[in-house]
Amino acid sequence: MTWRTAARTLAPVLRQGFGDALLPQRCIVCGRYGAALHDACLDALPHADPPRCPRCWLPTAGSAREARRRDGACSRCAAAPPPFEGLRTPYRFVGAARRAVIEAKFRGVSALLDPLGRASARVVPGWWSVDAVTPVPLHGARRRRRGFDQARLLAATVADELGVPLTDGLLRRVRATGAQTALGMDRRRRNMAGAFEVRAAPPPSVLLVDDVATTGATLGAAARALLDAGADRVYALAIARED
Whether the full predicted model's pTM is greater than 0.85, yes or no, is no
What pLDDT shows up at residue 193? 66
Q: What is the dihedral of CA 167, 173, 174, 179, to 10 degrees?
A: 180
Amino acid at 61: A
Question: Mean pLDDT by 10-residue block, N- to C-terminus, for the chain (243 residues)?
Answer: 43 45 77 93 96 94 52 87 97 97 89 96 97 88 72 96 96 70 56 81 97 93 96 98 94
Cβ neighbours, 10 Å, residue 62: 12
At a CB cut-off of 8 Å and minimum separation 6, what does 98 contact?
A: 240
